[in-house]
Each structure stands twice: as C-alpha cells, then as structure tokens.
Chains A and B, each alone.
Chain A
C-alpha cells in the first residue's frame, strides 16, 4: 500500500478528481493560510468592516485572489463530501438523492459567492 490518501484511480473522471484534490489542495495551502494570516491575524474581526472590504476590493487583485480561492475551496470541499457520501451513504437511491442535492446546493453557493465578489460596488 503506497498511498496515504485514496488509492490513485486508473483513469477517467475519477483520476482527474483525485489529481484535482492534490493540486487544488497545494494551491489552497497558500491561498487559505494566506487569507487566514491577513484577515484573522494581521487584521482581525475588530477592524474588518464594510469600509475595509471597499478599500480591499478597489483593485482587481484581491477580487481575483478571493474568486480563485472560492472556486478551488468550494469544489475541493464538494468533491470531499462526494467521497464521504460514497463511503457512508450506502443505499443507491439515497446516494443519488444526496449527491444531487449536494451539486444543486454547491452550484447555488458558487454562483452566490462569485456574484458577491464580482458585483461589489463600494
């Protein structure tokens, strides 16, 4: 047994999903820990408010940063939950129903988050 994570799938969509988890994970290590450092240690909830967001979103850099982080984190998380559903939800019907609601819910949140970042007007 050579793998620490899920055994590497042979090919197809499952291989892409397996690879995506690792690549997005490494990118998120920098993006999410950077986000925590900036927004929760250097700054914190005492000095973050609407004006702070307005100044931060005046340039496209932080919007792009947040948008990339949102997409990678949400899809990484959704795929992780998909793995858990495969492991813990055994009856086929329940599995399909759980996954369908997961994808619908995920799509709505991805759209909501993207709209928030892209349409923000100070």
Chain B
C-alpha cells in the first residue's frame, strides 16, 4: 500500500509529478462537477431561486475558487493530451520529457493571463 508520504518522497522526476497532478486535478474537477450539476438543477425552480443561488458565486472567495477550477481543468486537459500522444504514438517516448515541459509552459502561458483577467473582473 502506497503511503501519502511516498508521493512526496518518491523521486520519479517530472513524470511522477505530472501523474500526481493529473489525479489531484481530476478529483477536484469531478467534485466540482457534482456540485455544479446540483446548482444548475435549481434552474428548474424558476428565476427567483436560481438567481438567488448564483449570487453566492459572485462572492470573491468563490471567484478565486472559479480561477482554481479553470486551472485544474486546463492542466488536466493539457496533460491528458500528453498522455494520448505517448499512448498512441510510442515513437514520441524519446521526447517524453520535452512533452512534460511543453505541458508546463503551455499551462503557464494560457493560465496566467486568463487568471489575471478573471480576477480583475472581481474588482470592477
């Protein structure tokens, strides 16, 4: 049985961290999806109930959570694409480390401006 500490001390390099992040972001997005299905279901109870609930999502702590969720989806999508590339084109294994870094660079380039834009909307 793998202990929690093993995840932090196992020296598997960047591939190991991609794997840990893929699991953590996957579970995070899944948990939010469950909440999201229930909150949107309230639309069936009419405008009064629905608009009252959505007001909650406008509070700054929820807006920060929204940005984290967007980051989790983006990372999981990019890293998932890397997994598909390696699984379907085994020749890509020779550049596997470069692919891990490409995921990181693409994530930062897309996420930072998106996060700044989303957070700046709170201050308006």
Q: Give residues in A with beta carbon < 8 Å to B.
A: 2-5, 8, 22, 25-26, 28-29, 32-33, 36, 40-41, 44-46, 48-51, 53, 70, 73-74, 77, 80-81, 84, 87-88, 90, 109, 112-113, 115-116, 119-120
Contacts and interface: CB of A to CB of B under 8 A. Distances in A.
Contacts of A33: 73-74, 77
Contacts, number: 109
Nearest to B88: A22
Nearest to B89: A2
Main secondary structure of the interface of B (DSSP, over half): helix
A10 to B, nearest CB: 15
B61 interface: no
Interface of B: 1-2, 15, 23, 26-27, 29-30, 33-34, 37-38, 40-41, 43-44, 46-47, 50-51, 54, 57-58, 62-63, 66, 70, 73-74, 77, 80-88, 90, 93, 96, 114, 117-118, 121, 124
B43 to A, nearest CB: 6
11 contacts: A25-B84, A29-B80, A33-B74, A41-B118, A45-B54, A46-B124, A48-B54, A50-B43, A50-B47, A74-B37, A115-B44
Given A49-B47, A70-B37, A8 B87 contact: yes
Contacts of A29: 77, 80-81
A40 B70 contact: yes
B93 A2 contact: yes
B102 to A, nearest CB: 13
B51 A50 contact: yes
Contacts of B66: 40, 45
Contacts of A8: 87
Contacts of A5: 83, 86-87
Nearest to B37: A113
B83 to A, nearest CB: 4
Contacts of A46: 58, 121, 124
A112 B82 contact: no
B13 to A, nearest CB: 13
Contact of A81 (B27, B41, B47): B27
B110 to A, nearest CB: 9
A4 B44 contact: no
Contacts of A3: 86-87
